Amino acid sequence: MTQILVAYGTTEGHTGTIAEFVADVLREQGHEVTVADVKATDTVPDGCGAVVLGGSVHVGKHDPQVVDFAARNLEALAERPSAFLSVSLALVGDTAEAEKYVRDFEADSGWTPDRVSLVAGALLYTQYGFAKRQLMRTIAASKRGVLSTDTSQDTVYTDWEALRRFGEDFAAELAASH
Ligand SMILES: Cc1cc2nc3c(=O)[nH]c(=O)nc-3n(C[C@H](O)[C@H](O)[C@H](O)COP(=O)(O)O)c2cc1C
């Protein structure tokens, strides 16, 4: 059993949902998991044996608070098995763009995770304010049918089965390294 920190940053809440889902998968695999928002967590606790960090992309960049969390914990992250969950909507239509966000994140934070998983995010139209809803609808319309423009409902693009496999694979790696 390993104590795992699943830390995340979120703007609209979806990466928090993803972090909780991954934490449940890791618990099913027998690990003890703490889920923490980077807004309320400065460091990787000493007793922690592995870290999963999740962050979403807004306006072409990963959450600065997630970048800062990685940057100030470089040593702790290097000493433990680690993984990064990169949440974006680019992944729905343009994997190259989603990969570029990760390269930029690695350059900005100085952290090279052992494992990276690209995760499709969500269009939460009903939860956005007016301006954000209009902006996201315009962006979605420019993607030519790839993203929903129906602002009357939310659309979640996250592949939960792929995320489950990510959690199971990460847990298997931890087991193999003991
Ligand atoms: C204002 C805004 C800007 C966004 N900009 C991008 C972007 O530049 N590239 C992208 O791939 N996804 C973008 N997204 C999609 C988010 O990454 C996606 O909605 C994700 O699920 C948000 O996660 P969160 O709820 O944890 O913040 C944007 C979303 C919003 C609301």
Per-residue pLDDT at 95: 92
The domain made up of 3-121+159-176 is a member of CATH 3.40.50.360:
yes
Q: Is 30 left (phi over 0), alpha (psi -120 to 50) or beta?
A: left
In short, whether 56's Cβ falls inside 6 Å of ligand 1 is: yes
CA distance 54 to 38: 9
Detail the DSSP E strand segments found in 29-101: 32-37, 50-58, 61-62, 82-88
Å from CA of 116 to ligand 1 middle: 18
**Ligand 1 atom with the shortest distance to the CA of 9:** 26
Range(s) for CATH 3.40.50.360 in the chain? 3-121+159-176
Per-residue pLDDT at 178: 72
Q: Which residues contact 13 (CB under 8 A, 6 or more apart)?
A: 124, 127
In short, whether 140's Cβ falls inside 6 Å of ligand 1 is: no
Per-residue pLDDT at 163: 98
Mean pLDDT by 10 residues, the chain (178 residues): 96 98 97 97 94 97 98 97 97 92 98 97 97 96 91 98 98 87
In short, whether 121's Cβ falls inside 6 Å of ligand 1 is: yes
**Ligand 1 atom with the shortest distance to the CA of 132:** 1
Hey, is 110 helix, strand or coil? coil
**Cα 170 to Cα 7, 93, 118, 123, 124, distances in angstroms:** 15, 26, 14, 27, 29
Per-residue pLDDT at 93: 84
Per-residue pLDDT at 143: 86
Q: Going by DSSP bridges, is the β-strand pair 155-156/122-123 parallel, antiparallel, or unpaired?
A: antiparallel
Nearest protein CA to atom 30 of ligand 1, as residue = 58
Per-residue pLDDT at 40: 95
In short, whether 115's Cβ falls inside 6 Å of ligand 1 is: no
Å from CA of 35 to ligand 1 middle: 21
Per-residue pLDDT at 94: 84
